[in-house]
């Protein structure tokens, strides 16, 4: 599959943008029909037969500005009917029976959806991480600078999808999710693959109040005054949770620098939310 150039030379301010890695970590998947939407896939995760995943752009939906066009959030001010249509486009693109998402609150709640249980999938729980072993049930997180992190156990076919902003980093939400996969689903960290999607990069992750909101240990991730590499922070937290270095992928794509493809709250203010999706495939 061809790769997309995500290295425009200038930002909105006219300053040079931080160049992305020369080897693009995300591969572009163009829509196969008018009912499908442009999305990207991680090469490492794409090699897993039991996993379907995608990082959807803001393109290919029905919403009007400032939410144009594939907005998946009902909380932005967009018309609910357009959000429903956008979610249906994503559902059809990945071939899911249903999509499950959360009322994301930047907290530590983790929602488990297990085989044999009867979860109320019609309601929206307050949580920032989902874990499931149920095939054809797509997990979805909504983003506009925060990280969408996929964690997949290739041995037990269990997947987690995490919404991780700076508050999630402070409480080490990723470490908690790995532990929940271990205790609740019998997973092992050495069997897990993880991918951190497009989100606020070290070029734009400015936190002028970091002395008040970040623990002292976060200073090692400061790349210049007030700017932090949250991608490397997430990698470090996953490594400490027991994942292997070679099993962690970082997209390395800053949402604020690429508002033509992704929504960015920092870059735009009033805007939509793009989707990261992961789903267990039905066994052959």
Residue of 50, 106, 98, 43 whose CA lies nearest to 75: 106
82-94 confidence digits (pLDDT tens): 999 999 999 999 9
Identify the H or E element spanning 115: none
pLDDT at residue 22, rounded to an integer: 37
pLDDT at residue 37, rounded to an integer: 79
Strand runs labelled E in the chain: 27-29, 39-41, 51-56, 98-100, 110-113, 129-132, 137-143, 147-153, 158-164, 192-196, 222-224, 227-228, 248-250, 274-280
131 beta partners: 112, 160
pLDDT at residue 72, rounded to an integer: 97
Strand runs labelled E in 156-246: 158-164, 192-196, 222-224, 227-228
Q: Which two tokens stand for residue 135?
A: 């095939």
Q: Which two tokens stand for residue 241?
A: 């949770």
Left if phi > 0, otherwise alpha if psi is -120 to 50, otherwise beta: which for 145?
A: left
CA distance 45 to 273: 23
**Residue ranges of domains in the chain, CATH in brackets:** 27-280 (3.60.140.10)
Model confidence pTM above 0.85: yes
pLDDT-derived band at 23 (thresholds 50, 70, 90) equals very low
């Amino acid at each position: 599959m061809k790769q997309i150039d995500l290295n425009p030379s200038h930002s909105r301010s006219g300053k040079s943008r931080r160049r992305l890695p020369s080897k693009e970590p995300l591969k572009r998947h163009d829509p196969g029909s008018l009912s499908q939407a442009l999305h990207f896939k991680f090469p490492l995760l794409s090699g897993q037969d039991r996993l379907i995943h995608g990082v959807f752009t803001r393109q290919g939906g029905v919403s009007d500005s400032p939410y144009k066009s594939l907005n998946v959030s009902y909380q932005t001010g967009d018309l609910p009917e357009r959000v429903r249509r956008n979610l249906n486009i994503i559902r059809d693109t990945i071939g899911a029976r249903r999509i499950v998402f959360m009322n994301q609150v930047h907290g530590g709640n983790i929602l488990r959806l297990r085989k044999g249980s009867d979860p109320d999938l019609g309601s929206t729980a307050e949580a920032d991480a989902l874990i499931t072993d149920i095939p054809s049930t797509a997990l979805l997180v909504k983003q506009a600078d925060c990280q969408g992190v996929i964690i997949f156990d290739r041995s037990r076919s269990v997947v987690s999808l995490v919404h991780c902003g700076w508050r999630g980093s402070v409480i080490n939400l990723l470490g908690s999710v790995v532990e929940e996969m271990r205790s609740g689903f019998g997973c092992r960290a050495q069997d897990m693959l993880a991918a951190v999607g497009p989100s606020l990069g070290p070029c734009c992750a400015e936190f002028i109040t970091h002395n008040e909101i970040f623990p002292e240990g976060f200073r090692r991730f400061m790349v210049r005054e007030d700017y932090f590499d949250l991608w490397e922070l997430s990698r470090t937290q996953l490594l400490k949770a027991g994942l292997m270095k070679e099993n962690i992928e970082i997209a390395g794509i800053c949402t604020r620098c690429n508002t033509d493809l992704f929504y960015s709250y920092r870059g735009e203010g009033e805007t939509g939310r793009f989707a990261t999706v992961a789903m267990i495939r039905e066994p052959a």
